[in-house]
Amino acid sequence: MEKNKDFKPYIPADRITPEVTVTSIVMGIILAIVFGAANAYLGLRVGMTVSASIPAAVISMGVIRVLMKKNSVLESNIVQTTGSAGESLAAGAIFTIPALFLWAREGVMGKPGIIEITLIALLGGLLGVFFMVPLRNALIVKEHGVLPYPEGTACAEVLLAGEEGGANASTVFAGMGFAAIFKFVIDGLKAVPGEIALRIKGYPGEIGTQIYPAVMSVGYICGPKISSYMFSGGVLSWLVIIPLIVLFGKEIILYPGSVPIGEMYEAGGAGAIWSSYIRYIGAGALAAGGIISLFKSLPIIARTFVDAVKGMSSKVETSNLRTEKNISMKMVLISIAIITLFIWLVPAVPVSPIGAVVVVVFGFFFATVSSRMVGLVGSSNNPVSGMAIATLLIATLMLKLTGDAGAHGMKGAISIGSIICIVAAIAGDTSQDLKTGYLLGATPKKQQLAEIVGVVAAALAIGGTLYLLDTAWGFGSDELAAPQATLMKMIVEGVMNANLPWGLVLVGIFVAITVEIVGIPVLPFAIGVYLPVHLNACIMVGGLIRLFVDKLRTDETKKTKMVNDGILFCSGMIAGEGIIGIILAVLAIFGFDKIIDISGVLNLHPAVSNIAGLFVFALVVLSVLKFSVWKKGNRLNK
């Protein structure tokens, strides 16, 4: 990547083009609400959400450039900045707030009100945006060329491809088309499984891979090093720790499991062990990795704040470059102080003034960690729920130690966890958007204001969305399992009832410390420990393809062209899968997902189904090579 001192954005700082317009704001608000609702459903059903930045960019590019015949890449950028906030806010909210609905169904407490949910979402969302104002210089500008921000970079490539046209655009749209077809076959028609697993006979471990184009594309964009760190964490979890748990604990019933470990493994395989135990180890590793990362980042963060405070008294702000103007630090500090006051005053968050300050401090910590994480592995793989677990452990302990136990304390812990979870999700999304803007030459202040608009729109809609979904199907049902919120509920109850498996959490902490001592970057490794190995393996495949391209023996100009074409194609695949993921979520809301599901008609034998999945995955890999190494003009014999 280019060094920061040599970097020049696509739109020069001295050129003024439309950014914040009525069109961009209205479109952004609509997309924020639509993506927020669709991702709320998707996350409550499967426990994961899809990033909306690139789909929003593609939609805005289509409307503004194709339908309205306007030529403004920065206006399209504002649309995706505003629209993607809905998805991120929904992701943070659905991992925690549905736990309150589950307790209400059990008669532990009443349902949270829509205004209550809106306030929690709004406070967390605004904090996430304001925290990223001072962090932008530290993470986006000074770390340019170090932190890849794969989805932010991909989003910029998509917008630039539409702006410049020609071969770049065709490569991006080819990636979108291929990924859309693959995603529809895998998750729409369900003709092949999205995940392939292999058990080793006589050994209670498991290895496998997902076959999703977007996940593999993240590995290609991030490169082989980061991919290998994540994969090694997954190997430790699934081929070392899980087998040890099963081999030594077959007859043992270990909380949070309710049956003997051997029986659990026989019924659900390694996935059941991961769900019951490894997540806690991963949460411990993530918490330790986050603390280590924070301490290592303190010098640059401190310098950033000193520079920002100096800028508050600067009288030459008007002479600053357009591409360097942020919301003023004075406004940021005043806004954070007001939000801290509201956290203290909102009844749903039972904290003292000091407690409110602690919540904000923890929010800043996780905003920093989240921004670094998405810089490494992208928003779609940002383990917000892992950070929420760490937050809930601390918040519940604090409330319990101060005498706030029982239903009131549990509600308070979830509310505090919700705020910080939303902070982390929004900070990660904002950092990706700011990276896109940095590459394009956007005005940071206008992007930050657009993010605030998106947060407000999504916060106003999320309460009604959760009530609608709970009324339609009920959280915890087969249709809406709400796996993350169920886990959060169990953690809070575990701490309050003094039966949380702290041993597992400590294992994760010491694994992270060991990894840091031997010099391996702890955060990508800890993410690998926490996430399923199948996802890590898919990312690793993308990293290996990138390694193959990097090692080709050809002149540097041609190799650079191959790598960049691969990034363009993978950017398109991320966009294509994201758009189809949103469409499938909307179809599922109206029940059309069952109509297009042909898995029952095919009724393939598991072995045949896995072979078909591998064949589809091979086509995904070949498509990347086709549009990078084997693309006309890039071939080695040319």
Per DSSP, the residues of 243-268 read HHHHHH-TT---TT-SS-HHHHHHHH
Q: What is the pLDDT of residue 625?
A: 94
Distance from CA of residue 600 to its chain's centroid?
A: 32
What is the phi/psi pair of residue 199, to 5°? -95, 145
| CA atoms 261, 263, 269, 275: torsion sign | negative
Mean pLDDT split into 10-residue runs, the chain, 638 residues: 65 89 92 84 70 76 74 88 90 90 91 93 96 87 84 86 66 88 92 89 91 90 90 96 94 89 92 89 84 73 60 47 88 94 88 86 85 76 72 86 87 92 92 94 95 96 89 79 80 84 91 94 86 91 95 84 86 81 79 88 89 95 92 64
Q: Residue holding tokens 């609905």?
A: 101
Q: Residue holding tokens 């589809």?
A: 616
Q: Rounded distance, CA 638 to CA 605, Å?
A: 45
The closest of 195, 199, 235 to 216, measured between CA atoms, is 195
Q: Rounded distance, CA 276 to CA 257, Å?
A: 6
For the chain, the first-to-last Cα distance in angstroms comes to: 25
Q: Rounded distance, CA 214 to CA 535, Å?
A: 11
- Beta-strand pair 203-210/195-200: antiparallel
Q: Rounded distance, CA 346 to CA 342, Å?
A: 6
Q: What is the pLDDT of residue 316?
A: 37
Task: Name beta bridge partners: 207.
Answer: 198
Tokens read off for 155: 């989003």
Instruction: Read off the amino acid at residue 501.
Output: P
Q: Are 36 and 90 in contact (CB under 8 A)?
A: yes
Q: Are 99 and 492 in contact (CB under 8 A)?
A: yes
Half-sphere exposure of 366 (CA within 13 A, CB side): 35
The closest of 417, 429, 364, 358 to 386, measured between CA atoms, is 417
Q: What is the pLDDT of residue 93?
A: 92
3-class SS letters over 573-598: HHHHHHHHHHHHHHHHHCCHHHHHCC
Q: Rounded distance, CA 197 to CA 270, Å?
A: 10
Q: Are 100 and 109 in contact (CB under 8 A)?
A: yes
Half-sphere exposure of 245 (CA within 13 A, CB side): 31
Contacts of 130 (CB under 8 A, 6+ apart): 327, 332, 335, 336, 339
Question: Hey, is 408 helix, strand or coil?
Answer: helix
Q: Are 135 and 371 in contact (CB under 8 A)?
A: yes
Report CA Rg, the chain.
23
Q: Rounded distance, CA 614 to CA 455, Å?
A: 40
Half-sphere exposure of 121 (CA within 13 A, CB side): 35
Q: Rounded distance, CA 572 to CA 172, Å?
A: 4
Q: Rounded distance, CA 291 to CA 441, Å?
A: 33
Contacts of 543 (CB under 8 A, 6+ apart): 219, 220, 222, 223, 224, 225, 226, 227, 228, 231
Q: Residue holding tokens 């292999």?
A: 198
Q: Residue holding tokens 């709004």?
A: 122
Q: Rounded distance, CA 76 to CA 61, Å?
A: 6
Q: Are 488 and 389 in contact (CB under 8 A)?
A: yes
Measured from the Cβ of residue 68, the count of other Cβ atoms closer than 10 Å reads 12
Q: Rounded distance, CA 578 to CA 319, Å?
A: 40
Tallying the residues shown for the chain, one arrives at: 638
Tokens read off for 82: 């505003």
Q: Rounded distance, CA 273 to CA 255, Å?
A: 11
